[in-house]
Structure 1
Amino acid sequence: MRIRRLAVTLAVAVATALLPFVSADAAPGNPVSMTDGFYADPDLQAAVWVRSHSGDARAARIRTAVAAVPQGKWFGEWSGDVRSAVSAYVTAADRANKLPILVPYFMYGRDCGSHSAGGASSPDAYKRWITDFAAGIQDKPAVVVLEPDALAQRLDCVPSGQRAVRLELLRFAVDALRSAPNAWTYLDAGNASWVSPDTMAGELHAAGAQKIRGFALNVSNYHTTAESKSYADKVNAKLKARFGYTKPFVVDSSRNGNGPAPGNEWCNPAGRKIGAATRVGGVNGVEMQLWVKNPGESDGACGIAPTTPAGQFSPDLTMRLIEGR
């Protein structure tokens, strides 16, 4: 594997330079070219449920429509020794010659104390954690979607006295992840209806997005890929006008098959549907469509899953997303 990777890294160096939007600071390895498709986590909650409920009438459909689809592996306080956890995961993917999707979700002040509250106990604890996270990747190919909501929330619900700390921590995370030479990192940039494109362009630049592969949109949300692309194009236009560069972007398509709910309700809204499965491209100008959010895992005790805590798998919620009801 290592011999193949070294050869591929040399071969793709020129090709990577020719890809659209790439800056001089982008990671030298191309993880897409180094692997054969994306990695499906065998320990995804949906996959575990299917294995333990093989006699359930819903199991076969959940297996095919959700559990078998490559999607994000989220890391946080539940991960234990994060360096070891990340290393084990990327090593398993590497042995299968597949590309893993990693989601570090441990920001200090995470989710502003809402449904997904938690994360690091202090700024220094976060710095230690994200340093270990990056070290766990080593030289393995990976896609990293960095800290969902953290940047968009900075000017939203983060207390004004903590906003500079949030920005400092994101810049630190960006720099830490640059140590993984064959990982492409995409800094989460909210969704199409949250922050104005001009403001988001400034936030991305301030957080160091120019140093990494690009940005991610629609994580755990429902906006269509077309809506997300339109928003990304506006963000890139502002990045170009203000800072002289543009960046590639990825879109979370896990639950955007029916678009957003009325009023942009986000917490387990009814009538939503899974979207296009994880893939490279698929829509002109979108670098990847990824299932970053794990469909069927609750947004919180709300909406059509009023008794299901955030992050817990629900077969009923999953079936509703499969069927779009």
Structure 2
Amino acid sequence: MPRRLSLLVILLAALAAVAPSMTVGTNVAATTAAPVTTDNPLAGRTWGVYRGKAELSWEPYVRAVGQRKGLLAKIALQPKSKWFGDWIGDDEIARKVRDYVASATGGDPEVLVPMTVFRMMPWEQEACTRLPTKVEKASYRRWITRFAGALGDTHTFMVLQPDGPFARCAPGGSKVPARMVAWAARTFAALPHTHVYLDAGAADWLRVDDAVQLLVDLGVEHVRGFALNTTHYDATSSQITYGAEVVAGLADRGLPGKHFVVDTTQNGRPFTHAQWEARPLGQPFDDAATCRTPTGRRCVTLGIPPTADVTTAAWGLSSRVRALAAEHVDGFVWTGRPWLHQQSQPFDLGRALAVARTTPYQ
């Protein structure tokens, strides 16, 4: 087994590292802005850009020339959260994590690494029909433990278990999936510089009260906060307003001061799930129609670039929404993957070029 930090050290480590503010650039790692006084752990630190085969947009960008290369750069050179899931075996996960961190940081231990952990099995619709087996539970614990050991003292922010609302549909109202995610949340949050955001769906998915209960079940008490809009296309302003209500709901449950991140990968021209259902154009939700022009409406295109600078007027948010963002939002992050087929694989060059060509933000 690969060497890793002992779990005793991990469990005794401090919960978070605090640092000043940042904006995103387009090199090996994002460039930082002048620091400001803040308790936001995503601010004031360079966000790393992974350059390797595990990012399916990278090699198409490297091979491209001319205008196509410029368009693909809008995707490939941004700090994005790579997804780690059950397709990576228990015996491989530690090495995969170390390789990813090495590439994303370029060897600089101060760089902040974006990550997404999507390891629960069963999940999505299957989670509504059966509970994890004894073997699956043991594998989950082993995989998470090895992941955490390989991550060690890396500076990272992590979106944990996209499509979190599926924990609510376990047969018989079982809390087993939620308890497993909560255990993973505690394990990762015990690392010295890992900031965990539990996926709570999106503003167009759960009612606020349901999102609050979900987050309590998923162990939000142990982590920095929650993530919104990871697999949806809803407006950033809607997520911020909704997220602030969830924060208030958590405070009412005795959990004040939680923060959240908003995925802006694919909501440059936002629409809700209900709007897609009314006009799906024969395409599944995860492959919803891309924009054809920069002025298209209710179509998929790149949104606000990844950043901890959530209050600038450049994003077009109202003063009220900017005030809420300043109080509650740690960053706009890229966890979704609209340049992939079904947001999963393979890389879809047509989608990638379309979302890059029509974005209103770059």
Question: Would you call these one fold, judging by a TM-score over 0.5?
Answer: yes
Q: CA deviation at 1:294?
A: 2.6
Where does residue 305 of structure 1 map in the other structure?
none
Q: Can you list the C-alpha shifts for 1:176-208, whole angstroms capped at 9, x where unaligned?
A: 112311111111110001111111112212221
Q: Does 1:214 align with 2:225?
A: yes
Against the structure 1 CA distance between its residues 47 and 210, is the aligned structure 2 distance closer, same or farther, given a 3 Å change threshold?
A: same
Against the structure 1 CA distance between its residues 293 and 166, is the aligned structure 2 distance closer, same or farther, given a 3 Å change threshold?
A: same
Against the structure 1 CA distance between its residues 155 and 88, is the aligned structure 2 distance closer, same or farther, given a 3 Å change threshold?
A: same
Instruction: Identify unmatched segments of 5+ residues in structure 2.
Output: 1-13, 21-36, 277-284, 290-298, 312-321
More divergent stretch after superposition (180-189 vs 280-289): 280-289
Where does residue 152 of structure 1 map in the other structure?
165
Partners in 1 of 2:244 and 2:194 — Cα distance?
24
Partners in 2 of 1:111 and 1:223 — Cα distance?
20
Instruction: Identify unmatched segments of 5+ residues in structure 1.
Output: 1-8, 23-29, 301-309
Partners in 1 of 2:181 and 2:38 — Cα distance?
26
Against the structure 1 CA distance between its residues 238 and 278, is the aligned structure 2 distance closer, same or farther, given a 3 Å change threshold?
A: same
Partners in 1 of 2:241 and 2:189 — Cα distance?
28
Where does residue 292 of structure 2 map in the other structure?
none
Match of 1:291 among 327, 334, 339: 334
Partners in 2 of 1:261 and 1:322 — Cα distance?
21
Partners in 1 of 2:244 and 2:183 — Cα distance?
26
Partners in 1 of 2:156 and 2:101 — Cα distance?
7
**AA aligned opposite 1:122:** E
Q: CA deviation at 1:78?
A: 3.4
Against the structure 1 CA distance between its residues 109 and 232, is the aligned structure 2 distance closer, same or farther, given a 3 Å change threshold?
A: same
Question: SS of the residue aligned with 1:45?
Answer: coil
Question: SS of the residue aligned with 1:316?
Answer: helix
Where does residue 133 of structure 1 map in the other structure?
147
Match of 2:347 among 309, 313, 316: 313
Matches within 5 A, 1:77-92: 77-80=86-89, 81-92=92-103
Where does residue 111 of structure 1 map in the other structure?
124
State TM-score, norm by structure 2: 0.72
Where does residue 78 of structure 2 map in the other structure?
69
Matches within 5 A, 1:1-325: 30=41, 32-33=43-44, 35=45, 37-43=46-52, 44-52=55-63, 54-55=64-65, 58-63=68-73, 65-80=74-89, 81-94=92-105, 95-96=107-108, 97-113=110-126, 122-149=136-163, 151-156=164-169, 158-160=170-172, 163-260=174-271, 263-265=274-276, 266-270=285-289, 271-283=299-311, 284=322, 285=325, 286-299=329-342, 310-324=344-358
Against the structure 1 CA distance between its residues 14 and 218, is the aligned structure 2 distance closer, same or farther, given a 3 Å change threshold?
A: closer
Question: SS of the residue aligned with 2:335?
Answer: coil
Partners in 2 of 1:274 and 1:108 — Cα distance?
30
Where does residue 280 of structure 2 map in the other structure?
none
Q: CA deviation at 1:58?
A: 2.5
Against the structure 1 CA distance between its residues 262 and 251, is the aligned structure 2 distance closer, same or farther, given a 3 Å change threshold?
A: closer
Against the structure 1 CA distance between its residues 277 and 213, is the aligned structure 2 distance closer, same or farther, given a 3 Å change threshold?
A: same
Partners in 2 of 1:147 and 1:90 — Cα distance?
19
**AA aligned opposite 2:349:** P
**AA aligned opposite 2:330:** E
Partners in 1 of 2:349 and 2:198 — Cα distance?
30
**AA aligned opposite 2:177:** R
Partners in 1 of 2:175 and 2:205 — Cα distance?
20
Are 1:38 and 1:70, in contact at CA under 8 Å, matched by a contact in 2? yes
State TM-score, norm by structure 1: 0.79
Question: SS of the residue aligned with 1:289?
Answer: strand
Question: SS of the residue aligned with 1:144?
Answer: strand
Partners in 2 of 1:61 and 1:74 — Cα distance?
23
Partners in 1 of 2:180 and 2:193 — Cα distance?
22
Partners in 1 of 2:117 and 2:18 — Cα distance?
27
Are 1:38 and 1:99, in contact at CA under 8 Å, matched by a contact in 2? yes
Q: CA deviation at 1:231?
A: 0.8
Are 1:251 and 1:290, in contact at CA under 8 Å, matched by a contact in 2? yes
Question: SS of the residue aligned with 1:58?
Answer: helix
